[in-house]
């Protein structure tokens, strides 16, 4: 069993069946991660390169664990201590890696489209681990996996995505994934943080968090990127937190038993109250656990290991 | 075909279109680089005077004034790896352009007589097309202090612009417009509010949202068009607006012209042919400034061409090396080459019924010449023989590997288009001749 694509550059290029195929494959790998010996030989002899131009601990570690549990050889490549500083282009860096017989390149880059640009230029499979504001497909897949695990039925599920939607690859990928599987999606945030024509993505827009949270089944909080202050996108952290922070009172506006998600890392007390992050509504840590299984599934399916 | 020995050329039986003067199947007789007669049955007259006359059979072809492009980037001095004056003018000739105005965003910027003279000398040596330099408005195009505009004029500049950049400071733009009056120079602005466009690399809209790219709203252009029109009204200057791309810009120019404000406007073929959809897949060959926008904007540009709001078609020919465009989208430079694709894309407007054939030709010849007070752009008797012969029926495939330009950055690669330049004459000398059709 394998995906018909060479690469996974975004949810936009997957249909609902392919998404389900990945989630179902992840089911079996989740079982592996629960074993005593957390290893299967599926990718033995294959080389996976983590090419991270942007710093990241959790995603990179997650991919590294996933590849190692599949018995692949893993190389971590962070350009700060390499030839990119000497002016080598993205494509040349990748071609050099490819020349070392890398089977799969996992790319994180600050530029939207970097994964697609890379995928077109190398024969290796490319997995997008986050390209600028564009997409973070494995995040959306693990989010869906988590919901499916807890909720079972994605069709008709009411989901609110809250925060800086315009600059969030997690939001984009989730909007695509959730709408493709029939969920009802709302985006909530200040007007300055809503992308142009966002309703045309099939979502409903709310500027008021209390209204946006009413009766939802799932609340997906996005991290406020503090470095965005100073570009007139929001006023102060204090104001942002008062208007768009998830508090226990606001959580009550959602359906009883609503789940709270966050891609991490969280800004405690800014977009999410600590007691919620640590509370029983939160599935944030499940997301992290499931990330490894989902990434194992993606690596497995792209490597064509099923053939 | 021997290009140098024939001083006398008879272009026979072509459909001659000299907008406003001739639109008929007649002959054109050229002697010593000058048009001496345009009319029927000139063979006798030609043979009568000269023993050696080159007869060019132009049956079923159009015989037009050589095109005039008010907006090209020849990249020399400083960026010769992208294009040189020699290769850029060769590309011009291949596209049917006998006159081009080159923008000053070279390195160094053309803000002095010395650079202007260098450009003119390079163009003279290359001999492929006439080059009319556009000088900078401000020193280094930094937008602060006026360049030596009088000197630039004397050296041969035909207009001034800080192209690549807008002149952000309205006070500086006002003074530039006033100062330019003394030299009767058109002042060109690239209309973009840099604060509104900051970080943007494509049109702001549904596509930028889906691709996660920072967009540039149409308002970034409209705000500056409005500002420039107000300043033109204040100063009485000759304002020329480069590469209009929005509904709002066209509307404002239409209204300003109706009120008698002295403004000319240009549009580029890519802005009346493509939309932001061409960017999907992060296609850097569709990345330019101003960006490709929506169908509404394309329709507005076409309507503006039709009703005369937009006077001129110009290419904004912007060569870039292959490796530069092969970068991540946000990092890739803006612009596409355009000299060798402009004619068929313009002809498509005639097919669509937007323009008559004569009106389309006028946008490429008489209108640009008039906007910058150039004496070229016509087939009048006594004019120097800048002529282009085109086959309006020939279909061909755009193949960048066959471009005369050094650069290949076009989104039209592989397009099957209609209308091909067969021959270009500069001062009565053949500077370009197409290979035979491959069919």
DSSP state of B136: P
Q: If you measure CA to CA, which chain B residue comes closest to A169?
A: B212
Q: Does A84 touch chain B (CB under 8 A)?
A: no
Most A CBs within 10 Å, among B202, B212, B326, B333, to test the A interface: B212
Residue B316 falls in the annotated catalytic set: yes
Q: Report whether pLDDT(A87) > 70.
A: no
Q: Does A12 touch chain B (CB under 8 A)?
A: yes
Q: Are B328 and A117 within 8 A, CB to CB?
A: yes
d(CA A264, CA A245): 15
pLDDT at A84: 55
Please answer whether residues B134 and B163 qualify as being in contact, where contact means their C-beta atoms are separated by less than 8 angstroms. yes
pLDDT at B71: 98
- A-chain residues within 8 Å CB-CB of B208? 195-196
d(CA B358, CA B345): 15
d(CA B251, CA B239): 16
CA of B409, closest CA in chain A: separation in Å? 16
Q: Are B282 and A116 within 8 A, CB to CB?
A: yes
pLDDT at A86: 59
Q: If you measure CA to CA, which chain A residue comes closest to B325?
A: A117
Q: Does A196 touch chain B (CB under 8 A)?
A: yes
Q: Are B212 and A111 within 8 A, CB to CB?
A: no
ipTM of the modeled complex? 0.90
DSSP state of A86: G
In which element (H, E) is residue A114 found? Answer: helix A114-121
CA of A73, closest CA in chain B: separation in Å? 28
Please answer whether residues A143 and A221 qualify as being in contact, where contact means their C-beta atoms are separated by less than 8 angstroms. no
**Pseudo-torsion of CA B11, B12, B13, B14, nearest 10°?**
-10
Radius of gyration of chain A (CA): 19
d(CA A263, CA A221): 8
Q: Report whether pLDDT(A291) > 80.
A: yes
Question: Is residue A83 very low, low, confident or very high in pLDDT (cuts 50, 70, 90)?
Answer: low
> How many angstroms from the chain centroid is the CA of residue A220?
12
Low-confidence ranges of chain B (pLDDT < 70): 1-6, 49-51, 436-439
For residues A233-261, give the mean pLDDT: 94
Q: If you measure CA to CA, which chain A residue comes closest to B206?
A: A197
Q: Report whether pLDDT(A92) > 70.
A: yes
Q: Which domains does chain A show, CATH number per domain? A: 11-135+290-302 (3.40.50.1370), 137-287 (3.40.50.1370)
User: Mind listing the pLDDT tens digit for each residue in A38-79?
Assistant: 899 999 999 999 999 988 889 999 999 999 999 999 999 887
Q: Which residues are paired to A282 by β-bridges?
A: A260
Q: Are A197 and B205 within 8 A, CB to CB?
A: yes
pLDDT averaged over every residue in chain B: 96
> 3-class SS at B280?
coil
Q: Does B323 touch chain A (CB under 8 A)?
A: yes
Q: Does B328 touch chain A (CB under 8 A)?
A: yes
- A-chain residues within 8 Å CB-CB of B202? none
pLDDT above 70 coverage of chain A, percent: 94
d(CA A42, CA B364): 64
Q: Report whether pLDDT(A307) > 50.
A: no
- Selecting from B209, B323, B329 the residue whose C-beta is nearest the C-beta of A196 gives B209
DSSP state of B129: S
Q: Which residue has the tokens 């906007």?
A: B371
CA of B221, closest CA in chain A: separation in Å? 17
pLDDT at A33: 83
CA of A116, closest CA in chain B: separation in Å? 7
- A-chain residues within 8 Å CB-CB of B206? 196-197, 200
- B-chain residues within 8 Å CB-CB of A111? 328-331
B 195-214 residues with CB below 8 A of A?
204-206, 208-214
Q: Are A112 and B329 within 8 A, CB to CB?
A: yes
Q: Which domains does chain B show, CATH number per domain? A: 8-63+382-433 (2.30.40.10), 66-371 (3.20.20.140)
Q: Report whether pLDDT(A82) > 80.
A: no
- Selecting from A109, A131, A198 the residue whose C-beta is nearest the C-beta of B209 gives A198
Residue of B316, B386, B391, B399 with catalytic role: B316
| Diameter of chain B measured on Cα atoms | 70
d(CA A289, CA A255): 25
For A45, how many CA atoms within 13 A lie in the half-sphere containing its CB?
2
Q: Are A112 and B205 within 8 A, CB to CB?
A: no
pLDDT at A305: 63
Most A CBs within 10 Å, among B210, B216, B218, B281, to test the A interface: B210
Q: Which of A133, A144, A156 is nearest to A233 (CA)?
A: A133
Residue B360 is encoded by which pair of tokens? 């389309």
Q: Does B276 touch chain A (CB under 8 A)?
A: no
pLDDT at A57: 85
Q: Report whether pLDDT(A223) > 60.
A: yes
B 13-52 residues with CB below 8 A of A?
none
DSSP state of A81: G
Q: Are A197 and B212 within 8 A, CB to CB?
A: no
User: Mind listing the pLDDT tens digit for each residue in A160-191?
Assistant: 999 999 999 999 999 999 999 999 999 999 99
- Selecting from B208, B326, B329 the residue whose C-beta is nearest the C-beta of A91 gives B326
The pair phi, psi for residue B127, each rounded to 5°, is: 65, 25
More confident residue, A44 or A152: A44
Q: Please state, as a whole number, how many other Cβ atoms lie within 10 Å of the Cβ of residue B48.
A: 9
d(CA B134, CA B187): 10
- A-chain residues within 8 Å CB-CB of B295? none
Q: Does B277 touch chain A (CB under 8 A)?
A: no
Residue A150 is encoded by which pair of tokens? 């807890």
Q: Are A132 and B281 within 8 A, CB to CB?
A: no
In which element (H, E) is residue B189 found? Answer: strand B187-189
Q: Please state, as a whole number, how many other Cβ atoms lie within 10 Å of the Cβ of residue A169.
A: 24
For residues A283-297, give the mean pLDDT: 96
User: Which residues have C-beta within 8 Å of that of residue B194, sequence separation ≥ 6?
Assistant: B165, B166, B168
């Amino acid at each position: 069993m394998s995906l018909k694509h060479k690469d996974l550059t975004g949810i936009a290029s997957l249909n609902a069946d392919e998404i389900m195929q990945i989630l179902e494959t992840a089911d079996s790998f989740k079982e592996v991660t629960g074993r005593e010996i957390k290893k299967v030989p599926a990718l033995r002899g294959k080389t996976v390169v983590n090419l991270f131009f942007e710093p990241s601990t959790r995603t990179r570690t997650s991919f590294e664990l996933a590849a190692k549990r599949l018995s692949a050889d893993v190389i971590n490549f962070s350009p700060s201590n390499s030839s990119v500083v000497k002016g080598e282009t993205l494509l040349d860096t990748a071609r050099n890696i490819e020349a070392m017989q890398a089977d799969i390149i996992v790319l994180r880059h600050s530029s939207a489209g970097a994964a697609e640009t890379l995928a077109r230029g190398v024969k290796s499979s490319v997995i997008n681990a986050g390209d600028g504001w564009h997409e973070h497909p494995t995040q959306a897949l693990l989010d869906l996996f988590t919901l499916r695990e807890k909720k079972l039925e994605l069709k008709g599920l009411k989901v609110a995505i809250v925060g800086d939607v315009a600059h969030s690859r997690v939001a984009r990928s989730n909007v695509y994934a959730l709408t493709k599987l029939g969920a009802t999606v709302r985006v909530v945030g200040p007007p300055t943080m809503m992308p142009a024509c966002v309703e045309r993505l099939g979502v409903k827009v709310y500027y008021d968090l209390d209204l946006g949270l009413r009766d939802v089944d799932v609340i997906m909080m996005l991290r406020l990127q503090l470095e965005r202050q100073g570009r007139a996108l929001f006023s102060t952290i204090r104001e942002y937190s008062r208007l768009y922070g998830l508090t226990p009172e606001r959580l009550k506006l959602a359906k009883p038993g609503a789940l709270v998600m966050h891609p991490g890392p969280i800004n405690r007390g800014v977009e999410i109250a600590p007691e919620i992050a640590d509370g029983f509504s939160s599935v944030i840590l499940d997301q992290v656990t499931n990330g490894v299984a989902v990434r194992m599934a993606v690596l497995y399916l792209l490597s064509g290991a099923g053939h | 075909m021997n290009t140098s020995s024939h001083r006398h050329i008879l272009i026979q039986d072509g459909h001659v279109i000299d907008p406003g003067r001739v639109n008929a199947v007649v002959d054109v007789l050229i002697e010593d680089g000058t048009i001496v007669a345009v009319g029927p049955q000139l063979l006798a007259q030609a043979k009568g005077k000269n023993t050696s006359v080159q007869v060019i059979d132009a049956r079923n072809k159009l015989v037009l004034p050589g095109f005039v492009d008010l907006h090209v980037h020849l990249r020399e001095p400083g960026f010769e790896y992208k294009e040189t004056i020699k290769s850029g003018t060769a590309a011009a000739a291949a596209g049917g352009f006998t006159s081009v105005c080159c923008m000053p965003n070279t390195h160094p910027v053309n803000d002095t007589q010395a650079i202007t003279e260098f450009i003119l000398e390079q163009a003279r040596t290359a001999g492929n097309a006439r080059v009319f330099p556009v000088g900078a408005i401000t020193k280094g195009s930094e937008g602060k202090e006026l360049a030596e505009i009088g000197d630039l004029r004397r050296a041969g500049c035909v207009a001034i612009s800080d192209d690549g950049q807008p002149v952000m400071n309205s006070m500086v733009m006002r003074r530039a417009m006033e100062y330019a009056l003394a030299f009767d120079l058109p002042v060109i602005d690239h209309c973009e509010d840099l604060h509104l466009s900051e970080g943007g690399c494509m049109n702001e809209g549904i596509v930028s949202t889906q691709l996660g790219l920072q967009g540039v709203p149409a308002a970034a252009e409209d705000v500056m068009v409005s500002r420039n029109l107000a300043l033109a009204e204040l100063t009485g200057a000759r304002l020329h607006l480069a590469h209009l791309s929005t509904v709002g810009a066209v509307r404002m120019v239409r209204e300003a012209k109706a009120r008698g404000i002295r403004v000319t406007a240009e549009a580029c073929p890519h802005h009346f042919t493509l939309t932001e959809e061409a960017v999907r897949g992060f296609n850097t060959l569709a990345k330019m400034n101003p960006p490709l926008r929506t169908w509404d904007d394309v329709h507005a540009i076409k309507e503006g061409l039709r009703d005369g709001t937009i006077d001129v078609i110009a290419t904004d020919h912007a060569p870039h090396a292959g490796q530069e465009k092969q970068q991540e989208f946000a990092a890739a430079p803006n612009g596409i080459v355009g000299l060798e694709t402009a004619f068929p894309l313009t002809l498509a407007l005639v097919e669509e019924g937007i323009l008559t054939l004569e009106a389309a030709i006028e946008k490429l010849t008489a209108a640009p010449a008039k906007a910058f007070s150039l004496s070229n752009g016509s087939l009048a008797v006594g004019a120097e023989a800048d002529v282009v012969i085109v086959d309006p029926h020939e279909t061909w495939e755009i193949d960048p590997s066959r471009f005369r330009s050094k650069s290949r950055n076009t989104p039209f690669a592989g397009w099957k288009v209609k209308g091909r330049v067969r021959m270009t004459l500069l001062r009565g000398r053949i500077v370009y001749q197409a290979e035979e059709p491959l069919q």
